[in-house]
Structure 1
Amino acid sequence: MPVELVDDITVRMAPGMYSWCDLLTFAIPATASATDLINSVLAHPRYRHDCASPWTGNPDPVHGPYRLDSLNADGFQRCTRAEAVTTLWSWPAANLNPWVSAELLLSREVVMAWASPVLSTADEIYRLSVPREGNEHSYGWVVGLNGFHEFLAVCRRRATATVIIATDD
């Protein structure tokens, strides 16, 4: 069951923050099972991105800090909207220096302005919960020093699934 990429947005955080969010939206069959849907997203060439540099279209066998062969549908656990929002709200503050508080507030607003509409319409939300240890590729350590957070928000009514990646490089 192939999925089609219909939107690809990179949201940069406030100046002084080296963090960003990617939102990859896929058109999906509305009746696809969660397992088939997740596996189809994992198989899409755009999902193959090291998140350490701009995406070039080169389908490396990596995703963020992970070897692609370490990811499968079992690595995505169902979570609540509140859990996803709490993670995305808290994440920009990880290891934050105290003198960048204005950037933190702006970054939180930027993240939530993009992620909240996606999460609020989702029927199902899955969180990537594969441990990094033992699953990283050779240079995966450069991604997500302050965390690598990924959610898959599925909206059956709109027949879309949006991958939300929040990380730094």
Structure 2
Amino acid sequence: MELVDETRVRMAPGMYSWCMLLTFTIAPTAPAADLIGSLLAHPRYRHDCISPWSGATEPVHGPYRLEALKPDGFQRCSRAHAVASLWSWPATNLNPWGSSEFLLSRELVMAWTAPIMTAADEIYRLSVPREGNEHSYGWVIGLNGFHEFVAICRERATATAIIASDD
């Protein structure tokens, strides 16, 4: 598995939310559990998602201890479920005066993620509970939610981790 693209989408001004897309090459015939296992083992996946990535230093991912994440912690979900989660996420704890920022953020998320999810043959959602699985400073990330999906496109031989959160 090789990282071939990394994109960080910042939300509208005044919002501390972002969406990170990590796209990897895959063996198209590999079982999804093997692909997710390779993703979890990739050095680029080691990232607290709080500061810019500067190399795999700590065994963490987002708010989680890396050891708490296993392939079976990703549950297959429908495209509609993934889209609905990402569509509604920027509104979590929305400041009532920030409606224009919310609409812009929603559009930014969908513009970047919809083509990936549309092309995917399979989509998996990270379903590991945070309680008991967070690292020592994991509470800092995702106060309005930490959403992660893995979109597998066998035709393009790619898997994209879609990570949406705030810091």
Of 70, 83, 86 in structure 1, the residue corresponding to residue 84 of structure 2 is 86
Shift of residue 74, structure 1, vs aligned partner: 0.6
- 2:67 is matched with 69
Amino acid at match of 2:134: E
Which residue does 2:152 correspond to in 1?
154
Alignment match of 2:48 (pick from 44, 47, 50):
50
Q: Which residue of 2 aligns with 1:135?
A: 133
Residue identity matched to 1:21: C
Partner of 2:18: 20
Q: Which residue of 2 aligns with 1:30?
A: 28
Query: Of residues 58, 61, 65 in structure 2, which corresponds to 1:60?
Result: 58
Deviation at 1:57, TM superposition (A): 1.0
Letter of the 1:135 partner, please give it: N
Cα distance in 1 between the residues matched to 2:74 and 2:131: 16
Match of 1:115, as an amino acid?
Answer: T
Q: CA deviation at 1:58?
A: 3.1
**Deviations 1:69-106 (Å, cap 9, x if unpaired)?**
00000100000000000000000000011000000000
| Within-5 A mapping of 1:100-139 | 100-139=98-137
RMSD over equivalenced CA pairs, Å: 0.5
Residue 60 of structure 1: how far off its partner (Å): 1.3
Structure 2 counterpart of 1:77, one-letter code: Q
Identity across matched positions, percent: 75
TM-score (norm 1): 0.98
Cα distance in 1 for partners of 2:131, 2:7 equals 29
Which residue identity is paired with 1:134?
G
CA deviations 1:91-148 (Å, max 9, x no partner) are 0000011000000000000000000000000000000000000000000000000000
The answer for unaligned runs of 5 or more in structure 2 is: none
Q: Which amino acid aligns with 2:25?
A: A
Spell out structure 1 runs of 4+ moving beyond 6 A: none
TM-score normalised per structure 2: 0.99
- Following superposition, the deviation at residue 150 of structure 1 comes to 0.1
Q: Distance in 2 between matches of 1:166 and 1:61?
A: 20
1:11 aligns with 2:17: no
Instruction: Output the CA distance in 1 between the equivalents of 2:46 and 2:9.
Output: 18
Work out the number of aligned pairs and report it. Answer: 167
